[in-house]
Structure 1
Amino acid sequence: MIQLCRFLLPAVFCSLFFYSQGQVFAPFTINGVGKSGDEKVYLMYYAFDGDNQMIDSTTVTNGKFSFHGQIEGPCYGGVLFGSDFNTASQRWADKKNIWFTLFKGETLISFEDGKNQILGANSGLESERAFEKLKKERGKHNAYLLLKEFIAEHPDDVYSLYKFKEYVGHSKNYDEAIGLYNLLGADLQHSNVGTKLRHLVETFKIMPGVTAENFSQETPDGRSISLADYRGKYVLIDFWASWCVPCRNENPTLVKAYNRFNANNFEILGVSLDNKKENWLAAIEQDGLSWEHVSDLNGWKNKVAIQYGIRAVPSNFLIDPTGKIIAQNLRGEELLQFLENILKK
């Protein structure tokens, strides 16, 4: 099975930070009642508009606890219990922990009678229940048709944008995604998140058969390298990172490919999603990656990764001498065989 380093679902699109439209935040409150025990309570959630993991903590007093904060839109998160956050988060699947969609307004979590119940005095919870009701009514309706029906009925509901965000985190079907986007109300489309999602959808068109978009980024020694510099050659754009175990496991195959085919007009350009230069350089040396490497050291916010809609690493695109993408995400023996077929003619 091919392994990939991915975002968690709520953060799937969240490296798209280069738009800077205004954000509108609203307050939320989480109140817990009927909780026994003296463990600390932790609130962990991912921002609606980013991969930022928010963490807060409090204690149970007389069976109650409370959290307050502000969010731009619905967020996936949970209330966790443990002596410290590491202990609590490592036991994320523990039945005592509660995972839910966090909405603006009040969310009440009742632990009374040994049951965990999510209650809410907010419209978001009503929207979520409406979606779950529709899903139950439609039975095995596929995800696209279900979401299409829901958004059509709730075009101005921010929960529609939240579900759309989840959908494009899994799908790369441009026609379906742009169709769903066009069903959203104008305010949601032009919101901070809506604008970013539209950009992500546009990257779905970056696939074999189209001309690769040019980009430039710096090498470790400060030289600027452009994809256009490789025109006339076959070049594999390899998106990777030193912290990505599947990437490091794939590197021996890339070394083998480079050594075997470099004399046949083949190059590799590594684009790193690292944010620490020393780790990046160490991995290049340790793995013997003798081709050119570039990075802006912004992690998942790497501008080239954003430009190409990268949501998991390792990812790659094979570009032909005319600049056209001819293959995507070739790995292992499949990569070696593909190169053998096109370069050893």
Structure 2
Amino acid sequence: MKIISLLLFVCLSTVGFAQELKPFQIKAINVPDGKKVFLMYYSFEDDEKLLDSATVKDGKFSISGELKGVSYAGILFRENINNQNERSTKDTWFYLNPGENLMDFSKDEKITGGSADVLKYLAFKKEVEDKRSFYKSAEYLEKRKDIDALMAQVNEKEKELTKVYGNPKDVFQKAKLDFVKNNPANPLSLLFVEDLSGPKPNAEEIFPIFNSLSSELRSSKKGKRFETMLKGLAFVVGAQSVDFGQNSPDGKLVKLSDLKGKYVLVDFWASWCVPCRQENPNIVKAYRQYKDKNFEILAVSLDNDKASWEKAIKDDQLGWLHISDLKGWKNEVAGIYAIRSVPSNFLVDPQGKIIAKNLRGEELEKALAQLIK
């Protein structure tokens, strides 16, 4: 399904490469019960999540706007977009094209027509579905029976062979490790160390291997970036936090060390991050209860647009400290702490020690209740 979605997006690319803004309109009928819907869509150029909304009346709604190209979009049924506990099985995801987009929520395929680009999309999707339907037919499934049976036998034999002789992949990994040990100054060794670390690196295991590399490799731009990532993974509960500082919206430098002596929630978020915005009401509730009891929040934004950042702070009523270098995912503090997704947070005690990570929902309030009497 992911491959098909990618193909759909590529096929629609002829619509999206124009740089100028193009108007779009969504007209929906037979909308399920609900007073309000939100349109969430990704900007064609930078993948930021943008939001709009409409009121449902007599089973209908309409939303208009402008796009720079086709966008992946969702119609979300919510009373309050910031309520993370509010979900709906009626949410609908589709490709939003410039021009008219007609939707009928009584249909399995909600997009029913519209502009020429919408019709091209529908024709393409029908062609793909017609071709895929054969693979669900009795004829095809009957012919697959022998293949499926053989594959099950192969998998069983594979397990038996691995149990006796080991996994060939492990041999390759060991060969890479031996190469690194014998060639600490070879640039290929740094690439092998990155590969050995895998998608979820164990810092305790990888650091000794990385430190065995030559000082030239470790001090290279690539080496420093990898080392920063490893150090960030070391920020576990019980570890000491690292001081940092960036500018607030009004240009004032704010540092974590300025808050020494307080419990501090270091919160990584962004105005374009929908889960962050949904989590904000929970943080607001906890902050209002404990802000006068030796507790503060230092929010690090992964925004790159100052206006959007400031608007989100105002709209969500986030009355705590905010900083950013407005470099998006290249935010230097996020790099230090190896932030790979938002929202992410660390709760730091008055001595600067990390005592909790990624507190969500009521977890922050419960943790503060135990710490602050």
Alignment correspondent of 2:178:
152
C-alpha distance after superposition, 1:84-136 (max 9, x if no partner)? 3969xxxxxxxxxxxxxxxxxxxxxxxxxxxxxxxxxxxxxxxxxxxxxxxx9
Q: Is the 8 A contact 1:164 1:180 kept in 2?
A: yes
Please, which of 245, 252, 267 is the counterpart of residue 274 of structure 2? 245
- CA distance change for structure 1 residues 224 and 140 in 2, over 3 Å: closer, same or farther? farther
- CA distance change for structure 1 residues 192 and 218 in 2, over 3 Å: closer, same or farther? closer
C-alpha distance after superposition, 1:290-319 (max 9, x if no partner)? 111011111112122222222221111111
1:301 aligned partner, one-letter code? K
Matched, 1:279 2:273: no
Structure 1-normalised TM-score?
0.54
- CA distance change for structure 1 residues 311 and 85 in 2, over 3 Å: closer, same or farther? farther
Matched, 1:305 2:334: yes
Percent identity between matched residues is: 44
Measured in 2, the distance between the counterparts of 1:216 and 1:233 equals 16
Structure 2-normalised TM-score?
0.51
1:242 aligned partner, one-letter code? S
C-alpha distance after superposition, 1:250-288 (max 9, x if no partner)? 111111110122122111111101000001011111111
CA RMSD of aligned residues (A): 3.4
- CA distance change for structure 1 residues 183 and 341 in 2, over 3 Å: closer, same or farther? same
Measured in 2, the distance between the counterparts of 1:175 and 1:144 equals 20
Q: Is the 8 A contact 1:212 1:319 kept in 2?
A: yes
Larger deviation, residues 195-204 vs 184-193: 184-193
Q: Is the 8 A contact 2:263 2:350 kept in 1?
A: yes
Alignment correspondent of 1:316:
345
Q: Is the 8 A contact 1:274 1:299 kept in 2?
A: yes
SS in 1 for 2:278: helix
Matched, 1:263 2:193: no
Larger deviation, residues 273-282 vs 259-268: 259-268
Higher helix share: 2
C-alpha distance after superposition, 1:315-345 (max 9, x if no partner)? 111111122211121111222211111113x
1:183 offset after TM fit, Å?
5.7
SS in 2 for 1:264: coil
- What is the aligned residue count? 217
Q: Which has the larger radius of gyration?
A: 2
Between the two structures, name the one with larger relative contact order (CA 8 Å, sep ≥ 6): 1
In structure 2, the gaps of 5 or more residues are: 1-9, 18-161
SS in 1 for 2:326: coil
C-alpha distance after superposition, 1:210-233 (max 9, x if no partner)? 322112211101111111111111
Measured in 2, the distance between the counterparts of 1:139 and 1:244 equals 47
Measured in 1, the distance between the counterparts of 2:165 and 2:275 equals 37
SS in 2 for 1:279: helix
- CA distance change for structure 1 residues 138 and 303 in 2, over 3 Å: closer, same or farther? farther
Please, which of 59, 62, 84 is the counterpart of residue 14 of structure 2? 84
Measured in 1, the distance between the counterparts of 2:250 and 2:185 equals 49
Measured in 2, the distance between the counterparts of 1:245 and 1:142 equals 43
Measured in 2, the distance between the counterparts of 1:312 and 1:139 equals 39
Matched, 1:199 2:221: no
SS in 1 for 2:310: helix
- CA distance change for structure 1 residues 83 and 195 in 2, over 3 Å: closer, same or farther? closer
C-alpha distance after superposition, 1:179-234 (max 9, x if no partner)? 34246577654543123212221222222223221122111011111111111111
